[in-house]
Amino acid sequence: MICDVCGKRAASLFDRIIENGKAVEYAYCEACYCGLLKIGKTPSEVARERISRIGKECGICGTTKEQFESSLFFGCPECYREMREVARAAIARLQTGGTRPISSAFDRKILKTAVEKDGFKTADECTAEELTRDVVISSRIRLARNIEGRRFPKIMTAADMGTVDVIKGAMRAADGVFDARILTMSGLSKADKKLLLNKHLISLPLANNDSCGAVIIEKGDSSRISVMINEEDCIREQCVADGHSLGAAYEKMHIYDLALMRELPVAYDKEFGYLTSCPTNVGTGMRASQMLCLPALERTEAIDDVLKTFGDLYGLTVRGYFGEGSGAAYGMYQVSNSRTYGVAEKDTVELVISAVERICYLERVALEKLLKEHKTQLLKGVRDSYGRLAYAYSLTLPELMEKLADVRLGVILGELPIKDMAVINTLIEKCITSPEITTDGISDEERCIARANIVRKLLTEDK
C-alpha cells in the first residue's frame, strides 16, 4: 500500500476513521506521519484533502484543472499523469493538424531523371536537388525536454533547481557530440544577447530569463547547435543547418538527445510521450522546420493556396517569416510540422522534407509561368534590384529584403554575375550578425550605411 499523503512511499502506519457514518482507512509512511505530527497537523485530514484533489490537481506542483484551462500550460510533467483526461482533451483540441502523408501522386522518382540541358530547366526537368538547392535557405530541428518530478521553468522554485543539476547533465551529454560551452543569461550583455538572438541560438523568452536562463552552444563562430536551459521547457535542444539538410540536422540532434537521456531523468510517459509545458508540443516535443524563399509563388499570387493546402491537408504550419506582424514576407516562408502527438520523430522529418520538395516544385512551376507571361517585367525587376543593391549608399532592412527576392530569381535564372546562391545567403547572415550593425548605440542612419557597404562589397567583389 502507498502512503495517502505523499502518494509515493510505501505505507507502514494505518488509521481507521469514521466519516459521515462510514469507516474509512488511511495509510501513511513514517516520514509523512511524523512530519505532519511535528507541525501540528492531523494526518487523516491531510490524507483526505489530498485524496479529494486527485484528478483535479497535481500532487507535485499544485496546478489545478482550472489553472490549466485558463493558461494552457501545465506546471510539471506529473500534471499529465494526474490529469490524464484533461490532457487528452487538450491534445485533441490543440493538435488538429492532419497526419495525411504527402500525396504519392507526386512521385519523387520522376524528379531523379535529370535532364542534361543548358539554360532554364522546367520543374519537371529538375532533380529534387536542383529544385531545392536555391530555394531552401536553412533547416532546423528543435526538441523540447523536461525533468521528471520538477516544475516547468515558468513556476520553478529554488527547491526544484536543487534537485537535479540540469546544466551539468546537459553539458556532460555534449561530450563527444560537440565542443560545448555554457553561457548564463545574467552574465551576458545586451549586445551579446542580441547577437545570439539574431543567430537564432537563443529565443527572446530565454534572453529575458536572467534569473536562471542559460544556453549551451557549440564553440566557434559557426556554431549550429544550442541547448537552451529554462526556456518554456526545461531543455530545448536545437540544431540549425544550411540548405535542404533537415535529415542531417535531425541526426545530429538525435545523437545529443540520446546522450541527454542517459545523463538526466527526462520526463516521458508511455501514453503521451515527452512531457512538455504546453500540450501543443507533447509527444515528440519536436519542431522540424525549413526556411524557404518563394518569390515566384508570391508574385503569381498562388502563395495563399499553397499555404492553405499544406496547412490543412498535411498538418504543416507555413507562415511568412521575415516581416512577422508587418504583413510583408519578402518571399521568406517557414514550413514546420504542427503535430507532435501520435507521430514518430523520423516520420515528422520525412513529412516536412517531402512537403518542402513539393513546395519547391510548385515554386519552379510558378517561375515558369512568370517567364512565360511576364518575362520583360520579371527581368527588369531582377536587373533594377541588383543595380540598386550593388551601388547602394544606404539600405533599410525591408528594402534589402525586397530587392533580394528579385536578386534570388536572377541567380536562379542565370541573369546576374552572381552564379552561387551561397553569396546571397552569406550576405543576409552578415547583415544580421555583423558588429557594425548589431553593436549598441549605432544610429539607424549609420546602420543603413553599414548594411549597404556589406551588400555592395559582396555583390561586386565576391563572385
Give the separation between CA 70 and CA 76, rounded to whole angstroms.
16
Give the separation between CA 4 and CA 27, rounded to whole angstroms.
6
In the complex, least distance from residue 47 CB atom to Zn ion, rounded to whole angstroms: 9
- Residue 445 has a CB neighbour count (10 Å cut-off) of 9
Long-range contacts made by residues 401-404, C-beta under 8 angstroms, separation at least 24?
A: 401/322, 401/323, 401/328, 401/330, 401/332, 402/328, 402/330, 404/330, 404/428
Cβ closest to Zn ion, residue 14 vs residue 391: 14
CB neighbours of 176 closer than 8 A, spacing ≥ 6?
259
Q: Quick check: 3 binds Zn ion (CB under 5 A)?
A: yes
- Cell numbers found for residue 363: 515554386
Distances (CA, A) of 270 to 80, 93, 105, 267, 275: 11, 20, 35, 10, 10
Distances (CA, A) of 210 to 117, 169, 185, 205, 227: 57, 20, 5, 10, 16
Give the separation between CA 405 and CA 407, rounded to whole angstroms.
6
Cβ closest to Zn ion, residue 216 vs residue 282: 282
In residues, how long is the chain? 463
Using the contact rule CB under 5 A, the part of the chain among 5-13, 85-93, 250-258, 441-449 near Zn ion is 5-13
Cβ closest to Zn ion, residue 88 vs residue 194: 88
- Cell numbers found for residue 158: 529554488
Cβ closest to Zn ion, residue 63 vs residue 139: 63
Give me the amino acid identity at 175. D
Question: Quick one: DSSP state of residue 54?
Answer: T
Radius of gyration of the chain (CA): 27
In the complex, least distance from residue 390 CB atom to Zn ion, rounded to whole angstroms: 58
From candidates 36, 46, 47, 61, binder to Zn ion by CB under 5 A: 61
Using the contact rule CB under 5 A, the part of the chain among 62-70, 111-119, 181-189, 197-205 near Zn ion is 62-70
In the complex, least distance from residue 296 CB atom to Zn ion, rounded to whole angstroms: 49
In the complex, least distance from residue 303 CB atom to Zn ion, rounded to whole angstroms: 42
Using the contact rule CB under 5 A, the part of the chain among 31-39, 100-108, 338-346, 364-372 near Zn ion is 31-39
Cβ closest to Zn ion, residue 70 vs residue 443: 70
Q: What are phi and psi of 144, to 5 degrees?
A: -105, 130
The interface with Zn ion within residues 265-304 (CB under 5 A) comprises: none
Measuring CA to CA, which residue among 342, 299, 272, 334 is closest to residue 97?
342
Q: Quick check: 234 binds Zn ion (CB under 5 A)?
A: no
In the complex, least distance from residue 2 CB atom to Zn ion, rounded to whole angstroms: 8
**Burial class for 373, CB neighbours closer than 10 Å (0-12, 13-18, 19+):** exposed
- Cell numbers found for residue 46: 491531510
From candidates 47, 50, 73, 78, binder to Zn ion by CB under 5 A: 78
Measuring CA to CA, which residue among 168, 161, 206 is closest to residue 186?
206
Q: Is 356 helix (H, G, I), strand (E, B) or coil?
A: helix
Q: Quick check: 79 binds Zn ion (CB under 5 A)?
A: yes
Cβ closest to Zn ion, residue 65 vs residue 383: 65
Using the contact rule CB under 5 A, the part of the chain among 30-38, 83-91, 247-255, 455-463 near Zn ion is 30-38
Q: Quick check: 9 binds Zn ion (CB under 5 A)?
A: yes
Cβ closest to Zn ion, residue 75 vs residue 381: 75
Interface size with Zn ion, residues (CB under 5 A): 14
The interface with Zn ion within residues 119-138 (CB under 5 A) comprises: none
Question: Quick one: DSSP state of residue 102?
Answer: P
From candidates 60, 235, 349, 409, binder to Zn ion by CB under 5 A: 60
Q: Quick check: 233 binds Zn ion (CB under 5 A)?
A: no
- Which H/E stretch holds residue 259? helix 246-263
Cβ closest to Zn ion, residue 27 vs residue 390: 27
From candidates 6, 302, 413, 423, binder to Zn ion by CB under 5 A: 6
Using the contact rule CB under 5 A, the part of the chain among 36-44, 50-58, 169-177, 374-382 near Zn ion is 50-58
Using the contact rule CB under 5 A, the part of the chain among 22-30, 102-110, 166-174, 397-405 near Zn ion is 22-30
From candidates 26, 27, 32, 137, binder to Zn ion by CB under 5 A: 32
- Cell numbers found for residue 374: 511576364
Cβ closest to Zn ion, residue 75 vs residue 410: 75
Q: Quick check: 58 binds Zn ion (CB under 5 A)?
A: yes
In the complex, least distance from residue 396 CB atom to Zn ion, rounded to whole angstroms: 47
From candidates 12, 13, 14, 29, binder to Zn ion by CB under 5 A: 29
Give the separation between CA 180 and CA 215, rounded to whole angstroms.
10
Q: Quick check: 87 binds Zn ion (CB under 5 A)?
A: no
> Residue 215's beta-bridge partner residues?
183, 228
CB neighbours of 18 closer than 8 A, spacing ≥ 6?
24
In the complex, least distance from residue 286 CB atom to Zn ion, rounded to whole angstroms: 23
- Cell numbers found for residue 93: 483540441
In the complex, least distance from residue 76 CB atom to Zn ion, rounded to whole angstroms: 4
Cβ closest to Zn ion, residue 266 vs residue 382: 266
- The residues binding Zn ion (CB under 5 A) are 3, 5-6, 9, 29, 32, 58, 60-61, 63, 75-76, 78-79
